Amino acid sequence: MRDQVKIFTGSGNPKLAQAICDHLGLPLGQARIKRFSNENIFVQVLENVRERDVFVVQPLSSPVSENLVELLIMIDALKSASARRITAVVPYYSYAARQEGHARISITARSSPT
């Protein structure tokens, strides 16, 4: 079963992802993340994930938009590599704590009811 699970990380907090892997006794998945001079992000999965359950650890901390886009591109690369299931592990979701009580606001400003 352990060979059916892969854990990858974005650049948001690779130390956290490594700590999770160490705790679970799994190696951290290998991927190449490259940023071009025009700020575009390139992700290449460097190992076989075909028919495996994959977890991507990527907090949405600063820079929030860059980390979010990187997460989405990683998910797309893993999907293209035929991962069976992809789960985003987002230990910090920056959009969660926003003001309530305003009409006609974007979803980024809403928080869940308490």
- What CATH code is carried by the domain that includes residue 76? 3.40.50.2020
Q: Is residue 14 part of a domain?
A: yes
Cα torsion for 72, 74, 80, 83, to the nearest 10°? -110
**59: containing domain:** 2-109
Q: Quick one: 53 exposed, middle or buried, by C-beta within 10 A (0-12, 13-18, 19+)?
A: middle
Distances (CA, A) of 85 to 47, 53, 103: 16, 5, 37
Looking at the DSSP assignment, which residues form a beta bridge with residue 32?
44
Rounded to an integer, what distance in angstroms lies between the CA atom of residue 24 and that of residue 50? 21
Q: Is residue 114 part of a domain?
A: no
Q: Structure pTM?
A: 0.82
Q: Looking at the 3D structure of the chain, how many domains does it have?
A: 1
Please write the tens of the pLDDT for every residue from 25-61: 999 999 999 999 998 999 999 999 999 999 999 999 9
What pLDDT does 92 receive?
87
Q: Is residue 85 part of a domain?
A: yes
